[in-house]
Amino acid sequence: MSSESPGTRTPLQWLALELGHWRGVEARNHNRRDVSLNEDRIRSTNVNICASLALLYGSALFMCASAAPHNSVPEIRQYLAANPRKAVSLATHGKPQLLIPHAKPKRYLQTTIEETLEVDPHPRGAACA
């Protein structure tokens, strides 16, 4: 679904746009929840438990991204497990900042879906918004 008219892109460009969107969703959301927080290991069938844990996981990821945007979630978890007072402070502070000594900055995936498919995401003559 797009605000662009169907003729503004080739079918391959539409595919690249769609795959790029879902690739970003997977990388930013589901993968972080599953890999960093083991969300897929929850075996409860109780909807309230699953929904509550999903909200807590989302809050934890938001706090990690807000307090230490240049560190990975596993690094933050390890640091907070070793420093429980910092964890409490992080959860109760209005604008938390977390400086992790000796932490490596996280690396982002450098390639895009357009590069993978070798497609120009912007057809000739289309203006970038």
Where are the chain's structural domains?
10-117
Is the pLDDT reported for residue 48 higher than 90? yes
Distances (CA, A) of 122 to 14, 40, 110: 10, 37, 19
The reported pLDDT for the residue numbered 19 is 75
Name the pLDDT band for 46 (thresholds 50, 70, 90): very high
Listed range (1-5, 53-57, 66-70) with the worst mean pLDDT: 1-5
Name the pLDDT band for 24 (thresholds 50, 70, 90): low
Name the pLDDT band for 113 (thresholds 50, 70, 90): very low
DSSP state of 6: G
Q: What's the whole-number mean pLDDT along residues 98-107?
A: 67
Q: What's the whole-number mean pLDDT along residues 106-128?
A: 50
DSSP string covering 33-80, please?
A: IIIIH-GGG-----HHHHHHHHHHHHHHHHHHHHH-TTS-HHHHHHHH
Among 71, 64, 4, smallest CA distance to 37 is for 64
Q: What's the whole-number mean pLDDT along residues 115-125?
A: 52
94 CB neighbour count, 10 Å cutoff: 4
The reported pLDDT for the residue numbered 129 is 45
The reported pLDDT for the residue numbered 96 is 73
Backbone angles phi, psi at 123, to 5 degrees: -65, 160
The reported pLDDT for the residue numbered 52 is 92
What beta strand segments (E) does 39-87 contain?
A: none
Name the pLDDT band for 124 (thresholds 50, 70, 90): low
